[in-house]
Structure 1
Amino acid sequence: MPPKQEETAGKRMVMCAKFGKEMAGLDEVPFDGHPLGQRIYDHVSKDAWRMWVEHMKMLMNEYRLNLGTKEAQDFLLVQMEQYFFGEGAQLPPDFKPQTPKH
């Protein structure tokens, strides 16, 4: 059964898996043709997607991922699945957030 989607003021609404409430959905399917992309489109809000993009940048930098490799792509897909639909975001073991410079 497809998720509840309503058009509200021109916005496609989804029940966001990350926030647990109805929010504006993505405008297009990420990773078109991949089942996870469709699942994200159906169940993830724009706000949650923006948070993922920032988390993904951190993962790419911390793990020095080369997205040209299948291993890096597969790693990010697993992380994305966990971020939205699993246990949530896991930080790399040695991750230290940057402190703002004054």
Structure 2
Amino acid sequence: PVEDQTTEVNTPIKDVTLNGKDNSGQPVTHEVSGLPEGVTYDPETNTISGTPTTVGSYDVTVVSTDESGNTTETTFTITVEDTTAPDVDPVEDQTTEVNT
């Protein structure tokens, strides 16, 4: 199973490497769906990586298929949060006369 993870928006996720073999030791192929914007799957390295750019909860589905067409489905969640407070420029104190 792949562990769920939570990350700050515009911060890279922890890379997820998909490992799998069928019962005869042959490699499997993976199809990945549901990734947040900014996160991708590289089939050459079997790695999910990237920097999510949109806040939300994303249910990611991985379908692994062996040469015989047998499949296994794995689901995990990437939660993208924005917990950083905004920066506000200081406002100077002001003094004024009444009725002016």
- On whether the aligned pair clears a TM of 0.5, the verdict is no
Query: Which has a greater percent of helix?
Result: 1
TM-score normalised by length of structure 2: 0.22
With a CA cutoff of 8 Å and minimum separation of 6, indicate the structure with the bigger relative contact order.
2
Query: Which has a greater percent of strand?
Result: 2
Asked which structure has the greater CA Rg, the reply is: 2
TM-score normalised by length of structure 1: 0.21
